[in-house]
Amino acid sequence: MSAKEAYERAVAEADDYHGHQEGYSGAINATPGFSDATVKYNNSKLPRYNFIEDRLSKLTKFQGAECICIKKPKPNTNRIKTQVEHIVEAGTKKWVLLYCVYEAWSDKFIASFEKKGEAVARARQHTENTKAETHVRIEKKLHKGIPLTAKITYKKAKDEAEGEWEFYGWASC
């Protein structure tokens, strides 16, 4: 994970925890951004606490947060970074045409029917009960079995590791 990704994750977590707070939560989500001070930290030869204390005495709330890299990320060096699992079902596949009812705004599936009239009747019933607009779409569906034919997953390298970053600074108000 890069410093940018770590900052974005920290901001998202602060947003989830503190909410909007009308623009000020006192947390990292109230900062106008960040800068990476790892080179300054390494050149200073100071212990981390002393370096951060010194930087906090010089930073203002308008400069955003700073971060230093505590543990360098190790990227995935695999030539192929994914795995494929093929799903094979015995037998032949039979497809059918169905009339499917969905809520218009959420695209939530309601039901499916072999006849358009039945689908329209169910859509009308749903709209009358919920006051939500519905749509009926004709779709080709697999009669039996599952439509999934392959799963592709991320293949982590043995030595791959996320980086660790420490953020500090003053939040804007």
pLDDT 10s per residue in the chain (173 long)? 788 888 888 888 888 887 765 666 677 877 888 889 999 999 999 999 999 999 999 888 788 889 999 999 898 999 999 999 998 888 778 889 999 999 999 999 999 999 999 999 999 999 999 999 999 999 998 888 788 889 999 999 999 988 898 999 887 66
Domain count, the chain: 2
In a domain, 124, yes or no: yes
Read out DSSP for 111-137? EEESSHHHHHHHHHHHHHHH---EEEE
**Whether residues 109 and 70 fall in one domain:** no
Indicate whether 65 belongs to any domain: yes
pLDDT of residue 27: 79
Which pLDDT does position 151 carry in this prediction? Answer: 93
Return d(Cα 4, Cα 171) in angstroms, integer. Answer: 18
Rounded to whole angstroms, the Cα distance separating 3 from 34 reads: 9
Considering the domain architecture, whether residues 141 and 164 belong to the same structural domain is answered as: no
Residue 121 lies in a domain: yes
Residues 38, 10 within the same domain: yes
Residue located via tokens 């940018």: 4
**Distance, CA of 146 to CA of 85 (rounded, Å):** 15
Which residue range(s) make up the domain with 136? 88-147
CB 86 within 8 A of CB 150: yes
In a domain, 83, yes or no: no
**39 within some domain:** yes
Alpha carbons 139 and 50: distance in angstroms, whole number: 65
Whether 94 contacts 141, CB under 8 Å = no
Do 9 and 71 lie in a common domain? yes
In a domain, 173, yes or no: no
